[in-house]
Chains A and B, each alone.
Chain A
Amino acid sequence: MLDLHGYGPRLLEGSLLTLELALLSLLLAVLLGLLSASAKLSSSRILRGIAHVYTLVIRGVPDLVLMLLLFYGGQIGINMATDWIYSEFDVDIFININAFVAGVVTIGIIFGAYMSETFRGAFLAVDEGLLEAGRAYGMRPWAVFRHIRFPLMMRHALPGLGNNWMVLLKTTALVSIIGLSDMVKVAAEATKATHEPFLFMIPVALGYLLIASVSEWCFMKLRQRFDIGFSSGGSSWNN
């Protein structure tokens, strides 16, 4: 039996934290990606400018630097704000920037920028005539988006979304550096204590590969779902 020197349960907790972090970041990234893709396609020059600067900055700066900036800088920013509130209103507030929140926010912001490119391309790939058909029957803009634009767009976005998710999953390892006990952090601590790097790092590496395999399966299922009506499978008209 594998002897993990009592680190087994903590490794398991760490892997749960990795998963939670990854899923929450993905949610935020998809929302930000949809928003900024819409901004890039909007007619407002200001919105387009903001969205372009957003992706430009994210593409230029390492994930880790952004994370450190947000984690350490965010804390000081909030401290300055609460100090000011204390001196002005005599109200003492203490907000601690939680490493988990900093992690989710940073990873969400970073991958939101990558997703925005994915979604922008996917939105543009949807035939305008299909949206027009919806409008022509009096559908509200939201109904057109929900029933026509979004499902058709997702078909084009899924491959890019899948790639982004795989990269995002690995990026979560960076939160160990700002002190979150994800599975990498637990393995690093265990390694330092026991001097057995392979015993802890290899299972964690396998954990990432396992999550990746499971997600690949999920994405395959999703692709089938959004491919409905496009696949050559099923009966065809001339039989």
Chain B
Amino acid sequence: MADTSIPLEINHLHKSFNGNPVLNGLSLKAQKGDVITLIGASGSGKSTFLRCMNLLEMPDQGELIVHGEAIGFKVDRKGQRQPEDWKQVERIRARLSMVFQNFNLWPHMTLIENVMAAPVHVLKMPKAQAREKGMALLKRVGLSERASYFPTQMSGGQQQRGAIARALAMDPEVMLFDEPTSALDPELVGDVLHVMHELADEGRTMIVVTHEMDFARDVSNHVMFLHQGLIEEQGAPGDILTSPRSERLQQFLAPRY
């Protein structure tokens, strides 16, 4: 029997695009309260790895286990791997909230409508309750004043904090962050990182793809360095970021010092 206390477990994930291998057998185990950062040069596969976790990309091989529930796969007529049961995928996606690099707030909805949409349409939460909850979350990320604003009326930093509130509204067991600060102006990065730091302190399980080495060092408890779709080196940030063993990680970190 699988261990239901582990929020997310991934074994030997492979993925290629048009015959070009991108992920070459990646594994990861997130315990409750873990903050795992994925670092690596662009093209190392870290974003694809994250997108495979909630099946926005379909892994070619490998095992995905969410709270002990393994996702079933089958191979369709064209030889493509498909989930056995899309309902299961939707159920699992609802438990793993994602925050995108480009925020992807829905532009035709106000901020509070953005936050309410998934709880109402996926979890079937009553609207009044979703609104109440959404307002509380907006207050947490410092945006209660902006609830009735449309995304185009907000700065990038505000949009990203709004997107984090939208992700939190699902009460996710694991939060996936895909380079959440890469599209932001430098002076807006701090606010978003601050919110993420608070979430980590609360004991939320987070997997973060990022270029922010300070965040990786100060907030996460586990760092994975990816290179060409493989884990080149991983460990506690205090170890691998201060005394990297592999040459590639040394090179990757070098220009920063």
Of A127, A137, A237, the contact of B94 (CB 8 Å cutoff): A137
Beta-carbon contact of A143 and B121 below 8 Å: yes
Of B90, B102, B104, B105, the contact of A138 (CB 8 Å cutoff): B90
| CB contact under 8 A between A229 and B108, given known A132-B56, A138-B122, A237-B155 | yes
Number of interface residues of B (CB under 8 A): 35
Q: How many residue pairs at the A-B interface have CB separations less than 8 Å?
A: 88
Beta-carbon contact of B90 and A238 below 8 Å: no
Bits for A134-165, please: 1 = Cβ < 8 Å to B, else 0: 11111110010001100110010000000000
**A62 — which chain B residues lie within 8 A by C-beta?**
none
Beta-carbon contact of B100 and A133 below 8 Å: yes
Judge if A130 is at the interface, Cβ distance under 8 Å.
yes
Beta-carbon contact of A136 and B107 below 8 Å: no
Judge if A6 is at the interface, Cβ distance under 8 Å.
no
**A229 — which chain B residues lie within 8 A by C-beta?**
107-110, 150-152
Beta-carbon contact of A136 and B155 below 8 Å: no
**A148 — which chain B residues lie within 8 A by C-beta?**
106
Please, how many angstroms separate the alpha-carbon atoms of A127 and B103 in the complex? 12
**A134 — which chain B residues lie within 8 A by C-beta?**
106, 117-118
Q: Which residues of chain B from 93 to 123 have any CB-CB distance to chain A below 8 Å in the complex? A: 93-95, 97-98, 100, 102, 104-110, 117-118, 121-122
**B158 — which chain A residues lie within 8 A by C-beta?**
237
Bits for A90-131, please: 1 = Cβ < 8 Å to B, else 0: 000000000000000000000000000000000000010110
| Shortest Cβ gap from A222 to chain B (Å) | 13
Beta-carbon contact of B108 and A135 below 8 Å: no
Please, how many angstroms separate the alpha-carbon atoms of A134 and B98 in the complex? 10
**A127 — which chain B residues lie within 8 A by C-beta?**
104
Q: Which residues of A contact B (CB under 8 A)?
A: 127, 129-130, 132-140, 143, 147-148, 151-152, 155, 226, 228-230, 234-238
Q: Which residues of B contact A (CB under 8 A)?
A: 54, 56, 90-95, 97-98, 100, 102, 104-110, 117-118, 121-122, 146, 149-155, 158, 166-167, 170
